[in-house]
Amino acid sequence: MRAEYFTGVTYKGSYAHADDCPSSAAIPILAFTGRSNSGKSSLLSSLCRHANLARSSKKAGKTRTLNYFSVPPSSSGGPGLYLVDLPGYGYAALSLKERDQIRQMVDEYLANVKNVKLLIIVLDSRREPGPEENSIRAWCDLHAQPHVFALTKWDKLGNKERSAALKFWNAWGSPFVFVSNQTGYGVEKLLHMARNTVRRPDEILPDVNASTVDDASTQDARS
Ligand SMILES: Nc1nc2c(ncn2[C@@H]2O[C@H](COP(=O)(O)OP(=O)(O)OP(=O)(O)O)[C@@H](O)[C@H]2O)c(=O)[nH]1
Ligand SMILES: [Mg+2]
């Protein structure tokens, strides 16, 4: 059985502040954070099998607001939820002030919105975590915030780079999954993790892959 993609997803709205966001505590949230141009919007669209639902762009710095998408309850009993595309941080072409504003927006969001069931920290798999990722991870640990690193653009790595990345991330110690928004690699695995975190107690998920951490055998089998 395969992981169920999010279907029937609609754009709900864009907000400048955490306070303005839809506030129903009953609706679980999956939020995407990460550097500008890391592939957050593309990944959100991949999970919905909907090309460009969350408008990805070749131009970095595209997403500047807190963008909400509504997922209706699934036919197999999965709950309705929100997917939230957070603005990308670290875009070098912005002024320091603008970069600070974006960081503040993301920090304020995470501090105030309580029902983020899974924070998906998106990073280009050719990069290693920087100060931002370190600080987000520390924040997650401190606040017991479930999170996973989604390492995008896996299609762009050669075999050597893949082995090095795998070694690095296995040692890094947070849950991670390598994904490609171009080939779909790893998307079902992430989807399964996401569905698991918002699962109703009586809901049984298909056993796509029980592991939360990528391992060499799955990489080899699917590369
Ligand atoms: N080859 C490849 N390109 C990707 C992948 N994911 C995203 N991209 C490309 O990377 C660029 C940036 O993707 P976005 O999804 O717009 O990135 P973002 O993180 O939403 O960027 P901001 O909105 O600026 O924060 C686009 O040109 C995408 O097509 C991937 O897995 N593989
Ligand atoms: Mg974006």
pLDDT digits (tens, 9 = 90+) for 28-38: 999 999 998 99
User: pTM above 0.75?
Assistant: yes
| Whether pLDDT at 213 is above 80 | no
Q: What pLDDT is stored for residue 123 in this prediction?
A: 97
Longest dimension (CA), the chain: 49
Burial-class residue 182 by CB neighbours within 10 Å (0-12, 13-18, 19+): middle
pLDDT, one tens digit per residue, over 90-138 is 777 778 888 888 888 888 999 999 899 999 999 999 999 999 999 999 9
Pocket of ligand 1 contains residue 63 by CB under 6 Å: yes
Mutate to test the pocket of ligand 1, among 52, 57, 84, 103 (most ligand atoms within 8 A of CB): 57
Pocket of ligand 1 contains residue 57 by CB under 6 Å: yes
Pocket of ligand 1 contains residue 2 by CB under 6 Å: no
Which residue's CA is minimally distant from atom 22 of ligand 1?
36
Residues around the ion ligand 2 (C-beta < 5 A): 41, 62-63
Which residue's CA is minimally distant from atom 1 of ligand 1?
153
**Distance between Cα 59 and ligand 1 center (Å):** 9
pLDDT confidence band for 58 (50 / 70 / 90): low
Q: Is 196 left (phi over 0), alpha (psi -120 to 50) or beta?
A: alpha
- Contact 179/121 with Cβ under 8 angstroms? no
Three-class SS state of 210: coil
Domain 10-222 is in which class?
A: alpha beta
